Amino acid sequence: MAGQTWLVLGASSALGRAFARRAAREGAQLLLAGRDTADLADMAADLRTRFNAEAEVLAFDAVSPAGHDALALRLGAVREPNILLAFAVMPLQAALERRPEQAAAVIGTNLAGAASVMLRLLPVLEEKPGARVVVIGSVAGDRGRPRNYVYGASKAGLHALVSGYRGRLHRAGVSVTLVKAGPFDSGMTFARTDLRGIATTEAVADSCWRAAQRRRNVIYSPTRWRWIMAAVRAIPEPLFKRLDL
């Protein structure tokens, strides 16, 4: 594990930070990619101090594909690269219904942005057998709900993207793990007073780390969401459309 290098896309996210600390504790090197490079420089300094980790900052905006080439170039120079994709936006559904033009930004960041950077990194990964990719999906992508259906649609699309990407990279010896996360404690859920029993970010980061090391295909985190979503998916549509979910 000491030889692993992790490129964290969306490193300033709550999950990206927790995952970076987890990886640094294991002796991994970090490439912290995000929009606020000053903030990420502080994060890199913290990782160096706490864990004696090597940490470098890279500028990354999911909706600026022109910048994705530089990431590919940097990753190509890494011996054992691994990637965590942990960026997304999730405005409240009611806000999107008031301003429908913002729906395109949700899909643009969470799905089109992910597709852009993943495709840009594909040729690099093909040359790096043993690499691991972890993408953070969501239980919201398993079935569209009235309270969150634009974000859910972006994640459903992401899940399909990841499935194809996994098959595409399988022969190259690269594992691609989809983590379907349930709600956890972050800025994204800060205003969501309707959520009960949400997980800690550290617990989800830990399951991402373990799933990556085991090269799992798809996991739910926390695990109980596998059974919850199996039940939700089984609800017949005539009933589902009547539920205020």
Ligand X SMILES: NC(=O)c1ccc[n+]([C@@H]2O[C@H](COP(=O)([O-])OP(=O)(O)OC[C@H]3O[C@@H](n4cnc5c(N)ncnc54)[C@H](OP(=O)(O)O)[C@@H]3O)[C@@H](O)[C@H]2O)c1
We find the least distance from the C-beta atom of residue 45 to ligand X, in angstroms, to be: 17
Instruction: Please confirm, yes or no, whether 220 is among the known catalytic residues.
Output: no
Concatenating the DSSP letter of every residue in 77-124 gives T-SSEEEEE-------HHHHHHSGGGHHHHHIIIIIIHHHHHHHHHHH
Residue 201 and residue 18: Cα distance in Å, rounded? 7
Residues at the contact surface with ligand X, assessed by CB under 6 A: 10, 12-16, 34-36, 60-63, 86-89, 109, 113, 136, 138, 181, 183-184, 186-189
Q: Of 41 and 172, which CB lies nearer to ligand X in the complex structure?
A: 41
We find the least distance from the C-beta atom of residue 4 to ligand X, in angstroms, to be: 20
We find the least distance from the C-beta atom of residue 51 to ligand X, in angstroms, to be: 20
Q: Of 197 and 236, which CB lies nearer to ligand X in the complex structure?
A: 197
Q: Of 56 and 80, which CB lies nearer to ligand X in the complex structure?
A: 56
CA atoms within 13 A on the CB side of 129: 3
Concatenating the DSSP letter of every residue in 165-209 gives HHHHHHTTT-EEEEEEE--BSSGGGTT-TT--SPBPHHHHHHHHH
Catalytic residue set: 151
